[in-house]
């Protein structure tokens, strides 16, 4: 009987060690050298960060030669473009949740670091869009552009370009595994000429019910 009690106690201890106390959660701070966690059911930091970095780099590279209209010139003689970033549109199958805010801020900060661009503060932009009741999808219309420009000019924030960001995805299914292709597209629209400069970045990600699924489809 004593032996039976000992085995039961040992089994209970093992269960507690592996399951933890109900309602308790643990966390740790990641070092800069630690890799981002890979989302098991949807895109996360491991997806959005590379997409943003690549699409912005492509956009800035093209803008050096393709964008000609300038709003003003700094003392060093370099042309600077005033850009109104109107938001991130999600047209993918996934709900991106709080990553929408991080995607916006990351794009805004990276482009703002370039000497060629001056990003209008998001606070000005959102207040102006609310006042003139403009949605990003209608700002391709010249009338809506003029309305937004008029509101921002009252606060001394004129712009020459509208910046749009759009997320799309495509899903390929094979039994219980599926591959999702993510695309982040940046479009810089010249409101004076109507010409647009568009760049995009893509990332593919496989989702599986088990490790065998990854091995079967991708050899990993």
* Residue 171 domain-assigned (yes or no): yes
pTM of this prediction exceeds 0.85? no
Q: What per-residue confidence (pLDDT) applies to 75?
A: 41
CATH code at 69? 3.40.50.10610
Lowest mean per-residue pLDDT among 1-15, 46-60, 137-151, 167-181: 1-15
pLDDT digits (tens, 9 = 90+) for 172-199: 998 888 899 999 999 999 999 899 999 9
Q: Is residue 30 part of a domain?
A: no
Q: Which alpha helices (DSSP H) does the chain contain, by range? A: 2-19, 45-66, 99-112, 122-132, 142-153, 211-218
The structural domain count of the chain equals 1
Position 28 in a domain: no
CA distances in angstroms from 131 to 2, 37, 137, listed in the order given: 78, 40, 16
Domain-embedded: residue 27: no
Measured CA distances, 206 to 46, 65, 215 (Å): 13, 37, 11
Do 102 and 114 form a contact (C-beta atoms < 8 A)? Answer: no
User: Structural domain of residue 147, as residue ranges?
Assistant: 41-218
Is 35 part of a structural domain of the chain? no
Domain annotation covers residue 32:
no
Tell me the per-residue pLDDT of 121-142, one tens digit each, with 9 for 90 and over.
999 999 999 999 889 999 999 9
> What CA–CA distance (Å, rounded) separates 171 from 219?
20
How far is CA 107 from each of CA 71, 74, 100, 113, 129, rounded to the nearest angstrom? 21, 23, 11, 10, 19
> Does residue 129 form part of some domain?
yes
Q: Does residue 5 lie within any of the structural domains?
A: no
Which segments within 152-215 are labelled E, that is strand?
161-174, 177-190, 196-207
Query: Both tokens of residue 76?
Result: 């060093």
């Amino acid at each position: 009987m004593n032996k039976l009690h000992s085995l039961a106690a040992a089994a209970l201890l093992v269960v507690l060690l592996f399951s933890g106390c109900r309602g308790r959660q643990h966390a740790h701070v990641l070092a800069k050298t630690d890799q981002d966690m890979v989302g098991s059911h949807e895109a996360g930091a491991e997806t959005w960060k590379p997409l943003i970095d690549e699409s912005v780099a492509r956009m800035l590279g093209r803008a050096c030669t393709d964008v000609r209209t300038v709003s003003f010139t700094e003392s060093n003689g370099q042309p600077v473009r005033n850009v109104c970033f109107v938001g991130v549109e999600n047209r993918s199958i996934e709900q991106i949740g709080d990553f929408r805010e991080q995607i916006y801020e990351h794009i805004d900060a990276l482009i703002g670091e370039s000497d060629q661009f001056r990003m209008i503060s998001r606070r000005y932009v959102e207040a102006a869009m609310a006042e003139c009741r403009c949605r990003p999808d209608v700002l391709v219309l010249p009338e809506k552009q003029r309305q937004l420009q008029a509101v921002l000019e009252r606060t001394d924030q004129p712009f020459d370009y509208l910046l749009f960001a759009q997320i799309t995805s495509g899903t390929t299914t094979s039994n219980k595994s599926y591959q999702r292709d993510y695309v982040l597209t940046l479009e810089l629209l010249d409101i004076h000429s109507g010409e647009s400069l568009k760049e995009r970045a893509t990332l593919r990600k496989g989702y599986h019910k088990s490790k065998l699924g990854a091995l079967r489809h991708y050899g990993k």
